[in-house]
Structure 1
Amino acid sequence: MNLEKIEFLPLDKTYHLVQGFSCGNSMIDTYIKLSSNAIYDHKMGISSTTTLIYENEITAYFTANCAHLEIPVEEAREIGLMDSFYIPAIEVKYIGVKDKYQKKGIGSLLLKFIVGKALEITPFFTCRYIFLWAVEDAIEFYQKRYFKLTGKEEDGLYLMKFLVPTYPIEEEI
């Protein structure tokens, strides 16, 4: 598979290809396929779904939106927050790689794309974390890529977080 031939396209441009998608998890498959789910959320501005297209098929997708994340009191105090424990974040609600493309570098490519976009916007629209909901089988994959379990679980998915690097502001002389 030539990763250079992959295109990242919004779901509204590729929705005609969703019926052929299966990652092996019925909840993730159903979300992208049903018109009341991903495409509706995408069109209504609730969340954005990006598809990875290779040889005219959806090889993977992720759905994300702007959000905020509740952090522990100790962490809030470390960064100077006294009355709020919520900080800006990007939530990756769904992420899936088509069965036949799993373990071929597509998941890593997806994460590099997501983190890269977060790094692009953070200087202009602060984003301290990326958090995502992971299936149990993928937890180790994400941990190897610096995501940490938060301890929260919902509907069989585990919340993981990634601290977006910040850069010190240079003072003018």
Structure 2
Amino acid sequence: MVEPIPDEELEYVTLHEGVDVNSFSCCSKPEEIDLEEFLKEDALRCQNRFFSVTRVVFWGETLVGYFTLVTDCIEKEEMIRGDRIKGYKYRFYPAIKIARLAVHDNYRHRGIGTNMLIEIFSIVGGITENVGCRILTVDSKPTSVEFYEKSDFRRALVNPEDPPKDTIPFYFDILHIIKARKSL
């Protein structure tokens, strides 16, 4: 078993022109090719157009992962009835979506994905100080379902009449993270 990489050894950098992403590889599974292509071909362009923000993660000089965040919403009906926010009368909840999250093939199972998720929670918690947002969403690749389930994400309810997708939608209520930030 490989040793986990401690979070304090990871450096999170917002993607910019000077970051070389060409060494990043996460294509060991065919369904993940688009994750690598996005980082190398589209992430900076999308960021420069204010569609998304991508943060790359370094361990020393090595690019070991990245994640991309965008705004989103989730329909009340997609959440388990007990998870719905009492007294909220609107059809959609504002959300932040993890549009992409990937770990370099050579650094999987070393805690990087979990550490990135903790960083995402921190970012989203900070956003809530200025913008209303309560839910974190992600459309998971089938190979990542276990990761999100272990991280306490809930599977969104899907209308059985909708056409099947290549991803599985999840959501996470960040209320306890917001409360924890306010109590510091």
Decide: shared fold, TM above 0.5.
Answer: yes
Amino acid at match of 1:165: L
Work out whether residues 76 and 91 of structure 2, in 8 Å CA contact, stay in contact via their aligned partners in 1: yes
Q: Does 1:26 align with 2:33?
A: yes
1:110 to 108, 113, 116: 116
Pairwise CA distance, 1:2? 4.9
1:12 counterpart residue number: 16
Q: Structure 1 residues 45 and 75 mapped into 2: Cα distance closer, same or farther (>3 Å)?
A: farther
Work out whether residues 76 and 85 of structure 1, in 8 Å CA contact, stay in contact via their aligned partners in 2: no
Pairwise CA distance, 1:18? 1.0
**Normalized against structure 1, the TM-score is what?**
0.83
**112-121 or 92-101: which moved more?**
112-121
Work out whether residues 132 and 161 of structure 1, in 8 Å CA contact, stay in contact via their aligned partners in 2: yes
1:39 counterpart residue number: 44
Pairwise CA distance, 1:154? 7.0
SS at 1:81 equivalent: coil
Q: Structure 1 residues 45 and 13 mapped into 2: Cα distance closer, same or farther (>3 Å)?
A: same
- Structure 1 segments of 4+ aligned residues over 3 angstroms from their partners: 73-78, 151-155
Amino acid at match of 1:160: F
Aligned length: 163
Pairwise CA distance, 1:120? 2.3
Amino acid at match of 2:134: R
Pairwise CA distance, 1:148? 1.1
Gaps of 5+ in 2: 180-184
**Residues of 1 paired with 2:117 and 2:141: CA distance?**
15
**Residues of 2 paired with 1:44 and 1:27: CA distance?**
20
Work out whether residues 77 and 157 of structure 2, in 8 Å CA contact, stay in contact via their aligned partners in 1: no
Gaps of 5+ in 1: 168-173
Pairwise CA distance, 1:121? 2.5
1:171 counterpart residue number: none
- What do the CA deviations read for 1:55-103 (whole angstroms, capped 9, x no partner)? 2221100110122222218579752233x31111101111100011110
Work out whether residues 14 and 51 of structure 1, in 8 Å CA contact, stay in contact via their aligned partners in 2: no
1:93 counterpart residue number: 99
**Residues of 2 paired with 1:101 and 1:45: CA distance?**
30
**Normalized against structure 2, the TM-score is what?**
0.79
SS at 2:117 equivalent: helix
Q: Structure 1 residues 151 and 14 mapped into 2: Cα distance closer, same or farther (>3 Å)?
A: farther
Identity %: 23
Work out whether residues 22 and 98 of structure 1, in 8 Å CA contact, stay in contact via their aligned partners in 2: yes
**Residues of 1 paired with 2:164 and 2:115: CA distance?**
26
Q: Structure 1 residues 155 and 49 mapped into 2: Cα distance closer, same or farther (>3 Å)?
A: farther
**Residues of 2 paired with 1:122 and 1:81: CA distance?**
17
- Give the number of the structure with larger relative contact order, counting CA–CA contacts within 8 Å between residues 6 or more apart: 2
Flag the structure with higher strand content.
Answer: 1
**Residues of 2 paired with 1:23 and 1:105: CA distance?**
15
- What do the CA deviations read for 1:16-44 (whole angstroms, capped 9, x no partner)? x211111122011111011xx11101111
